C-alpha cells in the first residue's frame, strides 16, 4: 500500500513541477524511469487502488468477525483453516500489484 501512496505523492509533485528538485542527487536515468512510470498512471488506476484497498479492508473485517462467530459457536478448527485460506486469496491481488 505504501508503494501506491508513494507514486501518488510523486504524481502530485510532478504536477506541481517540483519532482525533479527532490531528486537532484539521483542519477538522471533513475529520474527518467520515475517520469516514465508516472506517465502510465491515471485517475482510473488510482480509483482501482482505492476500491481494492477498501474492499480488502471490509473483507478482512468480515472474515475476522465470521471466524470469531464460527469458532465460538461450533468450536470448529475447520472453519479456521478455511478462513485463513480465504483471507490469503483475498489479499493476493494486492500483493500482485
Structure confidence by residue, pLDDT tens digits, 42-55: 888 878 888 888 88
Task: Give the torsion through C-alpha atoms of 45, 87, 3, 54, to 10 deg.
Answer: 50
Tell me the pLDDT band of 87, cut-offs 50, 70 and 90: confident
Average of pLDDT values for 59-85? Answer: 76
Instruction: State residue 55's pLDDT score.
Output: 87
Residues 15 and 31: their CA atoms lie apart, in Å, by: 15
Say what the pLDDT of residue 1 is: 58
Please write the tens of the pLDDT for every residue from 61-70.
888 888 777 7
Residue 22, H or E segment: helix 19-22
User: Please, which pLDDT band fits residue 92 given cuts at 50, 70 and 90?
Assistant: confident
Amino acid at each position: 500500500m505504501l508503494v501506491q501512496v508513494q507514486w501518488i505523492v510523486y504524481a502530485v509533485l510532478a504536477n506541481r513541477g517540483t519532482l525533479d528538485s527532490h531528486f537532484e542527487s539521483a542519477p538522471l536515468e533513475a529520474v527518467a524511469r520515475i517520469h516514465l512510470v508516472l506517465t502510465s498512471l491515471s485517475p482510473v488506476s488510482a480509483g482501482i487502488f482505492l476500491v481494492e484497498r477498501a474492499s480488502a479492508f471490509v473483507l478482512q473485517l468480515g472474515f475476522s468477525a465470521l471466524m470469531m462467530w464460527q469458532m465460538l459457536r461450533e468450536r470448529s478448527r475447520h472453519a479456521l483453516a478455511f478462513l485463513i485460506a480465504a483471507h490469503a486469496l483475498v489479499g493476493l491481488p494486492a500483493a500482485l500489484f
